[in-house]
Amino acid sequence: METQQTQPRASEQFSARIEDASKTLGRVRDQIGKRIVGQRAMIDGMLIGIVAGGHVLLEGVPGLAKTMAIKALAEAIDAGFQRIQFTPDLLPADLVGTMIYRQQTGEFVARKGPVFSNVILADEINRAPAKVQSALLEAMEERQVTIGDTTFALPEPFFVLATQNPIEQEGTYPLPEAQLDRFLLKLTVQYPTPEEELAILRRVGVEHDIPLRTVLNAAEIRRVRETASMVTVDERIEDYIVRLVTSSREQNKNVHTYSRYIEFGASPRATIYLYRAAKVRALFEGRHYLVPEDVKAVAPAVLRHRIILSYEAESEELTEDDVVNYLLSAIAVP
């Protein structure tokens, strides 16, 4: 009898945690929504990155409020924030810091750079050369920075939210595949609808400050992250996630018609990130369990930057999203 009473109580506590986490994320959404009209996919993608503990790349033409959305998110979180404008003359030391000589003591000491913060806005990330990207790669993957002979741990939480422009490629440096793979999600930011653009005009046609409240701190991020990790996943959905990712690596063109469009498929890191992101999406919906729709909803953002298209796909003018949609339609849903 005691066991039967304990189990419902534990279930009620878990349901309460799910509801509380969902409401917490809703409050962050509401604060960002004071400045950003629409763009729900972009806002949810950034929140998925924060809860899942991954970095997010935002790609879109200028003027779609990518930078403004990241700044609004940073204001809604009680955490350190640094904006780094990436340019062709940026040096690794401008990002991570350098050793300086202290005349009073006759010693070299580390002067930490702007990357030592919680939320990093890497604006126009593809405008910096490879050596700067290499310095950022250590920070993104290892959560640490090496200055001179000393390695320093970065503060927790640590998130890189990067932007890039897909149409202006003069003076840019394409991100290496290894760095792209470190981004949990790649979000493609779309134009607003006419109705949303009218709302934007009425809200910010006359420039004025829109204050935001801080509604999330580091402790709450940890709590929401722990709750997301507790979302239950059926074995059939785990198998579905694995089949979806590994199908991008299938090379049997006679069996899989989409195989001819893929030169290189997604790595096991994609499987892990798809699993984590889908759990957070379930949390958004207030559910304590995963459904296939959660996986399908986040799959494009997780996979689009991890699939390298073949010449045949380019000749048919197919995009990464087109190929991901092929995969989603070809793999049987449990």
pLDDT tens per residue, range 24-41: 888 888 888 888 888 888
Quick one: tokens of 88? 């062709």
The segment with the largest mean pLDDT, out of 8-22, 105-119, 234-248, 249-263, is: 234-248
Within a 13 Å sphere around the CA of 296, how many CA atoms are in the beta-carbon half? 13
pLDDT on residue 270 = 92
Decide if domain 231-330 falls under CATH 1.10.8.80: yes
Q: What is the CA radius of gyration of the chain?
A: 22
User: What is the distance between the alpha carbons of residues 252 and 257, in angstroms, rounded to a whole number?
Assistant: 8
> What ranges do the domains of the chain cover?
39-205, 231-330
Max CA separation in the chain (angstroms): 74
pLDDT on residue 98 = 83
User: What is the distance between the alpha carbons of residues 229 and 282, in angstroms, rounded to a whole number?
Assistant: 11
Q: Which CATH superfamily is domain 39-205 in?
A: P-loop containing nucleotide triphosphate hydrolases (3.40.50.300)
Q: Supply angle C-alpha 127, 128, 129, rounded to 5.
A: 125
Q: Which tens digit of pLDDT belongs to each residue from 168-194? A: 666 677 787 888 888 999 999 888 889
Q: Where are the beta strands (DSSP E) in 189-307?
A: 216-217, 262-264
**Which H/E stretch holds residue 84?**
strand 81-85
User: What is the distance between the alpha carbons of residues 227 and 329, in angstroms, rounded to a whole number?
Assistant: 31
Quick one: tokens of 91? 């040096």
pTM value is: 0.86
The three-class DSSP label of residue 67 is: helix
282 close to 314: Cβ distance less than 8 angstroms: no
User: What is the distance between the alpha carbons of residues 278 and 158, in angstroms, rounded to a whole number?
Assistant: 21
pLDDT at residue 145 greater than cutoff 90: no
Quick one: tokens of 211? 């204050």
pLDDT on residue 2 = 47
pLDDT at residue 1 greater than cutoff 60: no
pLDDT interval class at 6 (50, 70, 90)? very low
Q: Do domains 39-205 and 231-330 have the same CATH topology?
A: no
Q: In the chain, pLDDT over 70 holds for what percent of residues?
A: 94
- Indicate the average pLDDT of the chain: 84
Q: Which tens digit of pLDDT belongs to each residue from 195-210? A: 988 988 888 777 777 8
